[in-house]
Amino acid sequence: MKLWGGRFESGPSEVFERFSGSLDFDRRLIGADIRGSQAFARALERVGILSVEERAAIVAAFGAIAAESASAAFYEGASDEDVHTLVIRKLKEKAGAVADKIHTGRSRNEQVSLDTRLWLREESDRARGLVTGVMEALVNLAEAYPDAVIPGYTHMRRAQAVLWPHYLLAYFEMFARDWERLGEARARANVLPLGSGALAGAGFPFDRDAMAQDLGFDGVTRNSMDVSGDRDFVLDFLYAASVAMIHLSRLAEDWILYSSEEFGWLELGDGVTSGSSLMPQKKNPDSLELIRGKCGRVIGSLTSLMVTMKGLPMTYNRDMQEDKVPLFEAADQLGGALEMARVAIESVRLNPGRPARAAEESWVVATDLAEALARAGTPFHQAHQIVGRFVLESVRSGKKPSDWTAAEMQSFAPELTGDLAVLLDPKKGMGSREIAGGTGPGAVAGALEEARRRLARMRV
């Protein structure tokens, strides 16, 4: 069956049919297509196109089709152009002649926009739920080692000491923004396009607000031409998904390093690692590598649709059918990566001694010393110079901070008074960073509690 054909003397070539069909992938929209069509049948009743009985018959037939669509047999032998065509063919088979009225005043251009919006709404909610799962796992892991100290890095060089929970809460913030961004993408999608027609607006006085209410939309779109040519709401989701994947990928990269023999900070569970077919000793972080790898696919999906859209003239063009494969791909990879990340995080055990030693054996305390000098009255630039020379001398003579005594410090530079020797322990310096958002132990404990409260609010 076709939803068009009167104007043609012959049918489409087999090659064109194969090339242009989208049922293989857009069948994922079938639930949304049916829900939207049921609401549209009610709108048709309100404008007098369908009688009460006809509307009831159509809505019931759609219900039956929805139930049947769960089985694989439903699609057997289906050669329909797209999911919208398939659903109308099935309606005809079930409800008979009255089905010929369902497409009155409606275009597939707005229908595909509607279906995608309905699908995205649910998918955004699902993704947001998975994001909070990752966030909760991070908070649990932070609470398991509340006092652990690690060197924080810039340029992949040891920079300043931070608490392990402070490090994990940095990722918590990134995922909190992802949760918000996915919510913004959802809100952008949650506007009713129906009533736009093909591009010029429907030729029937549909009550668009009633349709919006019926389908749970926040409002109605404002311009029919915009609706027909708009995929911004898909791009918004793809961007939100890409940024979330970047965050997952960076966490994965950190932990691939931190779980290596060279670092030895953490141990990934057996359940999220794999062995080598040749080297018996290997325990590889494949789950994390795949999270990092799949990130590329999601960014590729965003790029793909941006390139598809960039040169399109107003309004709808068939190119836009190519939005679905990247959308589904990105949503699937994001969901899978979030789930995998949660399980990987839950499997982690920290060996707190290793990062603590890495902090103690490096010069992460240098900033604490310079700032202490500044607090005691030495202008910071001079303090920086003094401590810089102190570090240089230590590097030359192979001394780590704990190798210095207070007396030796003082004789190296008179400004390095005995009371500063305590700052050679990285734990001590952190006490001066009790500023909001800093790694001071009190600030971090407060941030952890606040993170729990924020999570509880995200779940409702």
Active-site residue numbers? Answer: 155, 276
What are the φ/ψ torsions at residue 341 (nearest 5 degrees)? -65, -40
What's the token pair of residue 410? 């003082």
Query: How far apart are CB 114 and ligand ARG at their closest, in Å?
Result: 11
Amino acid identity for residue 441 in this structure: P
Coil vs helix vs strand at 24: helix
Collapsed DSSP state (helix, strand, coil) of residue 75: helix
First to last CA, the chain: 45
Smaller CB distance to ligand ARG: residue 315 or 367?
315
* CB of residue 61 to ligand ARG, shortest distance in Å: 22
Report whether the peptide linkage leading into residue 315 is cis, meaning its omega lies within 30 degrees of zero. Answer: yes
- CB 323 → ligand ARG: shortest distance, Å? 7
Q: Which one, of 460, 437, 431, lies nearest residue 450 by Cα?
A: 437
Distance CA 265, CA 275 (A): 20
Q: How far is the CB of 89 from ligand ARG (least distance, A)?
A: 14
CA distances from 261 to 38, 228, 258 (A): 59, 55, 8
CA distances in angstroms from 61 to 65, 101, 208, listed in the order given: 6, 14, 24
79 three-class SS: coil
CA distance 439 to 412: 30
Q: At 159, which helix (H) or strand (E)?
A: strand 157-163
Residue pair 98/54 in contact (Cβ under 8 Å)? The answer is yes
* Nearer of residues 113 and 378 to ligand ARG, judged by Cβ: 113
- Bridge partners for 163 per DSSP: 149
Minimum gap (Å) between residue 4 Cβ and ligand ARG? 8
Omega cis (within 30) before 273: no
Q: Give the helix ranges, DSSP H, for 204-263.
A: 208-215, 224-229, 232-258
User: Minimum Å distance from CB 234 to ligand ARG?
Assistant: 11
Are 37 and 62 in contact by the 8 Å Cβ rule? The answer is: yes
Q: Which amino acid is located at 455 in the chain?
A: L
Question: How many CB atoms lie under 10 A from the CB of residue 101?
Answer: 16
Of 106 and 128, the one with the shorter C-beta distance to ligand ARG is 106
Q: Which is nearer to ligand ARG, 317 or 410 (CB)?
A: 317
Cβ distance to ligand ARG smaller for residue 87 or 451: 87
Structure token pair of residue 435: 């500023």
Q: Of 65 and 320, which has the nearer Cβ to ligand ARG? A: 320
For residues 116 and 367, which CB has a smaller minimum distance to ligand ARG in the complex?
Answer: 116
Residues that bind ligand ARG (CB under 6 A): 22, 26, 82, 108-109, 112, 316, 318, 320-321
- Look up residue 175 and give its two tokens: 């995922």
List Cβ neighbours of 130 (8 Å cut-off, separation of 6 or more).
334, 335, 338, 339, 342
CA-to-CA distance for 83 and 94, rounded, in angstroms? 16
The nearest distance, CB 73 to ligand ARG, in angstroms, is: 23
- Name the residue nearer to ligand ARG (CB basis): 2 or 375: 2
To ligand ARG, the closest distance from the beta carbon of 314 in angstroms equals 14
